[in-house]
Amino acid sequence: MYDDTAKQKIMKKKSIALALSTLMVTGLVGCGSNEGGSNEEATLKVGMVTDSGTIDDKSFNQGSWEGIGLAENELGIERNYMQPAGETEVDYLTEIQNLYDADFKFIVCPGFKFETAIYEAQQKYSDAKFVLIDASPSDGNGNGLVADNTVSIFFAEQEAGFAAGVAAAVELQTGDLGFVGGMETGPVKRFDAGFQQGVAYANEKYGTSVSLKDENIVYSGSFTDKALGQQLAATMYDRGVKAIFAAAGGTGTGVITEAKTREGVWVIGVDTDQYNEGLKSDGTSVILTSAVKKIDAAAYQMIEEELNGNFPGGQTITFNAKNDGIGIPAENPNLSEDTIAKVSEVYELVKNGEISVRAE
């Protein structure tokens, strides 16, 4: 269930690799040559292109970059990143080319905004490898292709949201919760769906009385508007909402900012453990818990597979409860032992298939 420290995640790489073998969806292990896999060969140069965020966005740009950083420390790769001037396909392709021209031919791109850019780049740069996180290559007209030099990574956000919903309901027991999403993308909607199911499960199984009203479920339409996130949070908190699940990237940081100006309100973080982001001047944090996607472990694992000559090209891989690819943080200072025990119990039921969490 838990998001171990970055070091611990990497020490668990054997179990992650075993889980990967069960997750391979279709076809051949494309690009599975020993290129870059020998210690005697040149250092693997790994590049990353950010989307609308930065490498310290407390979300999946940062998670991806941290995973690459761990690979630098543990596996001896060289890393670099590019931050595009804009958010168009041309902007992304420009930075992909810049990395390629600098011989960074293993390229990680986090987010749905790269779908069309990777669709083109994987064909143009056939001797490069691409890791596309939270998306699948598409031409923008409904035609998709995960080429043999590309792997597409997804997460079961609904399961992470479910765990966070149970945690919030059990810890708070009564009152209203809220949800602030960014754009209505697949991952955000899955977080929302899972969170609602988790709250409902806790109400039914653990006797909590927590509500998630329609008026308190809002999609901001942005992943970058911090001011809007703060405004939406203020409105909800003024209505009596006790905790808001903010699955909105940079917009979600505005929710955290607003919570830090108040007493007795909480935020559920997203993607990574956002506890430190919620720290106040008195040393306490407004982050109740976080719905975690182990993006760093995913990025690290793909690099390791490449070095071992087993890059899973042409495949779509999902990280979920069964392979411990999602959950809540290993440490939750604001959750009671009873809450943590109940979330652990529920997580195991999801993991073994006794609970099925709908994606929508």
CATH for 2-155+294-323, options being 3.40.920.10, 3.30.1490.20, 3.40.50.2300, 3.30.420.40: 3.40.50.2300
Three-state SS at 34 = coil
Q: pLDDT above 90 covers what percent of the chain?
A: 82
Domain residue extents for the chain: 2-155+294-323, 157-292+331-351
Give me the pLDDT at residue 58, please.
67
Indicate the pLDDT class of residue 1, thresholds 50, 70 and 90. low
Handedness of CA 318, 324, 330, 332 (dihedral sign): positive
Exposure on the CB side of residue 299, measured as CA atoms within 13 A: 33
pLDDT in tens, 217-270: 999 999 889 999 999 999 999 999 999 999 998 899 999 999 999 999 999 999
Indicate the pLDDT class of residue 114, thresholds 50, 70 and 90. very high
pLDDT in tens, 49-84: 998 778 887 677 888 999 999 999 999 999 999 999
Q: Which two tokens stand for residue 353?
A: 């298939």
pLDDT in tens, 342-357: 999 999 999 999 999 9
Q: pLDDT above 70 covers what percent of the chain?
A: 88
Alpha-carbon separation of residue 129 from 48, 110, 302, 313 (angstroms): 12, 14, 10, 8
Q: What is the DSSP string of 164-206?
A: HHHHHHHHH-EEEEEEEESS--HHHHHHHHHHHHHHHHHHHHS
As its CATH architecture, domain 157-292+331-351 has: 3-Layer(aba) Sandwich (3.40)
Least confident piece of the model among 36-45, 62-71, 280-289, 301-310: 36-45
Q: Looking at the predicted structure, is the pLDDT value of residue 99 above 70?
A: yes
d(CA 126, CA 146): 12
pLDDT in tens, 170-216: 999 999 999 999 999 999 999 999 999 999 999 999 999 999 999 99
Domains 2-155+294-323 and 157-292+331-351 share a fold: yes
